[in-house]
């Protein structure tokens, strides 16, 4: 899965399952904390942020604006460059 962002860092589109899903509504962005103390993860000093998990909730659609909306929940773990698709929800009319 690939996520394309605007110059200001807001998601613009997601490539998932061989298709490009355009963001169709204002995305929701938040962070949670990793329980590093339970995993006993250690890293060298200065390696970077090892506790913040980044999340985006995106309403997306394929092609024309008449296609149905879906909600993608994305997550990126600390020290990772890869976005993970955590959930997909179909929007009910």
Q: How far is CA 12 from its chain centroid?
A: 11
Number of domains in the chain: 1
Angle, CA of 48, 50 and 51, to the nearest 5°: 135
Could you tell me whether strands 28-33 and 11-16 are parallel, antiparallel, or unpaired per DSSP bridges?
unpaired
The whole-model pTM stands at 0.82
Residue 38 lies in domain: 2-90
CB proximity list for 14: less than 8 A, separation 6 or greater? 1, 2, 3, 4, 20, 21, 23, 58, 60, 72, 74
Render pLDDT for 35-67 as a digit per residue (tens, 0 to 9).
766 665 666 676 666 788 999 999 999 977 778
């Amino acid at each position: 899965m690939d996520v394309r962002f605007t110059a200001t860092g807001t998601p613009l589109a997601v490539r998932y399952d061989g298709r490009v899903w355009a963001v169709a509504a204002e995305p929701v962005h938040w962070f949670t904390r990793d329980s590093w103390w339970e995993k006993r993860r250690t890293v060298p000093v200065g390696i970077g942020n090892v506790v913040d998990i980044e999340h985006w909730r995106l309403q997306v659609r394929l092609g024309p604006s008449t296609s149905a909306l879906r909600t993608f929940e994305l997550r990126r773990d600390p020290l990772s460059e890869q976005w993970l698709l955590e959930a997909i929800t179909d929007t009910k009319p």
